[in-house]
Amino acid sequence: MNIALIGSGGREHALCSSILESKLCKKIVCIPGNAGTSKIATNIDINFLDFKKLLKILKLNKIDLVIIGPEEPLVKGIVDFLNKHKIRVFGPNKFAAKLEGSKAFMKNLCKKNKIPTAAFKICKNKKDVQNFILKNSLPLVIKADGLAAGKGVTICKSHKQIMRITNEIFKGKFKSSKKLVLEEFIVGEEVSYFLIVDKFNYKFFGSAQDHKRVGEKDTGPNTGGMGAYSPAPIMNKKLEFKIIKKIVEPTLRALRKSNNPYRGFLYVGLMIKNNEPYLIEYNIRMGDPECQVIIPRLKTDLLNVINKAASDKLNQIIISWKKIKSMTIVLCSKGYPGKYSKKKPIKNLNNFKLNKNIFIYHAGTKFENGEYLSYGGRVLNITGTGNFFKDLRKKIIKTIKILNWKHGFFRKDIGWRVINK
């Protein structure tokens, strides 16, 4: 099969690496890809949001299956467009993509289908916000309605902070958001639960816990993710049963009723309180950096799994997992998630020797004139597999120190929840 993989992050490098191991894969093109994928596949540097240009590239390369990595093309209807042009694609359609594309849509779906989630108010103006504040105690969580690259959520500890964030959102800080969701703050343990879904079936596709805050001890502003580990130790069979019966199945049933059955990866973002799951968010794709810790644990041929799901034949396959643990630490550009410099050379990456069971997945990188350059806030994902999270963190941090990239920073406490117990 000829595969096209859409995206340019660490998630896509991890997916690309795994897909290449499949006997089903004849060739893979990454659109646009990054420095990491350029070494193992063919990068085509075009704007994947230009669907017409993308279609020409797909036809020229005789692509048999398109796999969508990030959320933005899904929310903008890439699946509907490619289906219309008879190009086989794996991912949810534009309607189902609203699970992530609109926090208001997701919350209304929860309310209608009695899915456990935080109490909320969809606010279209400041008066809506003020009314909710009067009836609820602090802290409160404020979320931009549309896509915000993982940076549209703020936990607010004062009314002043709520009004400041409200003003920013209504003034267009996140262009896709003309309204916001204000909700109660649930105290618990966060976990990411993944599924691969076709029109009729779904299968478990790993669990993970990530660190969204930029600072150690989970402080500072939200990011796209500073690190993750898998599997999530909090998961157990009783909890998983509740997640499926109370959250996943009602959601998939509601989408099928609307004649928009879900097909793709589904990321269920949860808060666990007293062993009860509450839906925090849905993402319509693999998480980043969670994908980078789940894929190394996958035993089954990834491309075969995706190909079956794209054909609505998930019931024909069993997904198996290696009995190992995995962790990744994200090396970021200094200044992230605020302003940061680009095109900073990563000098020691050339001919860098990795220890066994340590991988480097590229995210915001390009390879130009014989050297690796940083092109994003999150630059590299240093990932390891083994038996103990504590040992993994030591090995990863040792690798980062040897790499010695002076323009970057990272969190040294990834996995604190499981390591410090």
Residue 176 pLDDT more than 70? no
Express each pLDDT in 345-400 by its tens digit.
999 998 888 888 999 999 999 999 999 999 999 999 999 999 999 999 999 999 99
- Distances in Å between the Cα of 177 and the Cα atoms of 102, 122, 168, 211 are 8, 12, 11, 24
Give the integer Cα–Cα distance in Å for 225 and 210: 7
Residue 279 pLDDT? 98
Residue 123 pLDDT more than 80? yes
Give the integer Cα–Cα distance in Å for 202 and 62: 29
Mean pLDDT, rounded, for 205-234: 94
Residue 421 pLDDT more than 80? no
Contact 3, 27 (CB under 8 A): yes
Residue 353 pLDDT? 84
Mean pLDDT of the chain: 95
Token duo for residue 305 = 């799994």
Confidence of residue 172 (pLDDT cuts 50, 70, 90): confident
Looking at the chain, the whole-number percentage of residues with pLDDT higher than 90 is 91
Residue 420 pLDDT? 67
Express each pLDDT in 208-221 by its tens digit.
999 999 999 899 98
Residue 328: how many other CB atoms lie within 10 Å: 32
Mean pLDDT, rounded, for 243-271: 98
- Domains annotated for the chain, with CATH where assigned, are 2-90 (3.40.50.20), 119-184 (3.30.1490.20), 189-316 (3.30.470.20), 325-419 (3.90.600.10)
Cα atoms in the 13 Å half-sphere on the side-chain side of 42: 12
Confidence of residue 92 (pLDDT cuts 50, 70, 90): very high
Mean pLDDT, rounded, for 166-171: 90
Mean pLDDT, rounded, for 4-14: 98
Residue 171 pLDDT? 87
Token duo for residue 40 = 């193992």
Residue 67 pLDDT more than 90? yes
For tokens 């029109």, name the residue. 199
Residue 91 region by backbone torsions, left for phi larger than 0, else alpha for psi between -120 and 50, else beta:
left
Upstream peptide bond of 337 is cis (omega within 30 degrees of 0): yes
Weakest-pLDDT range from 74-83, 297-306, 344-353, 361-370: 344-353
Residue 413 pLDDT? 97
H helical segments located in 180-301: 237-242, 249-257, 291-294
- Distances in Å between the Cα of 275 and the Cα atoms of 186, 188, 234, 374 are 13, 9, 9, 41
